[in-house]
Structure 1
Amino acid sequence: MSTTSHRQHIPAVTEDVPASTTRVAAGRALAVLRIAYGFTFLWAFVDKVFGLGFATKSGKGWIDGGDPTAGFLGKGATGPFASFYHSLVGDFWVTPLFMIGLLGIGLALTFGIGMRIAAVAGTLLYVLMWSASLPLETNPVIDDHIIGAITLIALALVAAGNVWGLGKMWSSMSIVKHYPWLR
């Protein structure tokens, strides 16, 4: 009896699955990932604006006069950068910039436009939130913020906004052609 008789042959992509089919499936999978990440940013924005009782308590939304960044920066920031983040609480520019970032990144990812800007802004936001959470509890280096940052960069690099998004139309605009960093 052969020791390999119990193994099934798993075809390589090039054997039974045409490359075009693989590219289409990969493009769709990346589009779903892009849209899902977009919704996470949009949801955070909506919850913080209206205080829907999830991450932001009812009656504590931005619309109610609450400060969406005060809790995290004031109480949630730990580790070597805690004093820096604590010092930002109440600064007039912090909350509007954070909220504009959540909305802009969320819309860009959801619609597949401005993927480079969304990747840079989202990566910066993720890295800042990661550094505010140091030391990490379950892994000394990697957490969901770093995975999110890597994902946003990958989505921009593969032009994930072109599938089920407005990326192709966005890229064809004259201002985007003139300033490719807007892609």
Structure 2
Amino acid sequence: MAERHTRRLTAPAVNQPTETTRQKATRYVWAAVRLALGWTFLWAFLDKTFGLGHSTEAKAAWINGGHPTQGFLKFGAAGPFKGFYNDIAGAAWADWLFMAGLAGMAVALLLGIGLRVAAVAGGLLYVMMWTAVLPPETNPFLDDHLINATVLTGLALIAAGDTLGLGKLWARLPLVQRMPWLK
């Protein structure tokens, strides 16, 4: 019998730190937060598009000729920016930007890709929604819109798309490697 020599196909691990249980749990908690925010954007998009009856009735659905920005911006806006928001309520360009933003942020958050872009776009949307109702109803300054804008930023900074998402795969794409702001 001939002696068979095998060689190692993978390099031995060199000083790779072992992830603790706490670190792993933290990754999964932030992935769950990312997915939850993604669902809120997806639900808003679906409800406004199809009028699923939660916040938007079928007759006011976007596919039935409704204007997704009209209700809130026309009747819900208050405070110093009320005139601005009333003026853009129901404008076709505002409807398209709003709906594209909701869909884009939902996809990015649910898939765990493009979180930096989603954090900027989502943060801007949340801040605009905050300014539409100044001062907030339950607090003189802070509300859930500013908190969610901050959470989006944190999700992008910690690469929350790498856990339960496609973030690692996305980061390896040549386009994303050339333009890291797309991570």
How many angstroms does 1:48 deviate by?
A: 0.3
- 2:167 matches 1:167: yes
- Return the alpha-carbon distance in structure 2 between the equivalents of residues 120 and 50 of structure 1: 27
How many angstroms does 1:21 deviate by?
A: 1.3
The aligned residue for residue 41 of structure 2 is: 41
Q: SS at the partner of 1:133?
A: coil
The aligned residue for residue 94 of structure 1 is: 94
Structure 1 regions of 5+ residues with no counterpart? 1-17
How many angstroms does 1:50 deviate by?
A: 0.4
The aligned residue for residue 20 of structure 1 is: 20
Which protein has the larger Cα radius of gyration, Structure 1 or Structure 2?
2
1:34-183 alignment runs, 5 A limit: 34-183=34-183
Amino acid of the structure 2 residue aligned with 1:53: G
- Return the alpha-carbon distance in structure 1 between the equivalents of residues 156 and 55 of structure 2: 28
- Return the alpha-carbon distance in structure 2 between the equivalents of residues 119 and 143 of structure 1: 18
Amino acid of the structure 1 residue aligned with 2:71: G
Greater mean deviation of Cα atoms: 132-141 or 163-172: 132-141
Amino acid of the structure 1 residue aligned with 2:74: G
How many angstroms does 1:79 deviate by?
A: 0.3
Q: TM-score, normalised by structure 1?
A: 0.88
- Return the alpha-carbon distance in structure 1 between the equivalents of residues 148 and 69 of structure 2: 20
How many angstroms does 1:173 deviate by?
A: 0.3
Amino acid of the structure 2 residue aligned with 1:72: F
Amino acid of the structure 2 residue aligned with 1:129: M
- Return the alpha-carbon distance in structure 2 between the equivalents of residues 147 and 55 of structure 1: 22
How many angstroms does 1:19 deviate by?
A: 5.7
Q: How many residues align?
A: 166
Q: SS at the partner of 1:137?
A: coil
Greater mean deviation of Cα atoms: 84-93 or 144-153: 84-93
Percent identity among equivalent residues?
53
Cα distance per residue 1:113-145 (max 9 Å; x no partner): 000000000000000000001111110111110
Q: SS at the partner of 2:121?
A: helix
Greater mean deviation of Cα atoms: 50-59 or 109-118: 50-59
- Return the alpha-carbon distance in structure 1 between the equivalents of residues 70 and 172 of structure 2: 41
Instruction: Decide whether the 8 Å contact of 2:58 with 2:64 is kept in 1.
Output: no
- Return the alpha-carbon distance in structure 2 between the equivalents of residues 62 and 87 of structure 1: 19
Amino acid of the structure 1 residue aligned with 2:54: F
- Return the alpha-carbon distance in structure 2 between the equivalents of residues 103 and 131 of structure 1: 22
Structure 2 regions of 5+ residues with no counterpart? 1-17
Q: TM-score, normalised by structure 2?
A: 0.88
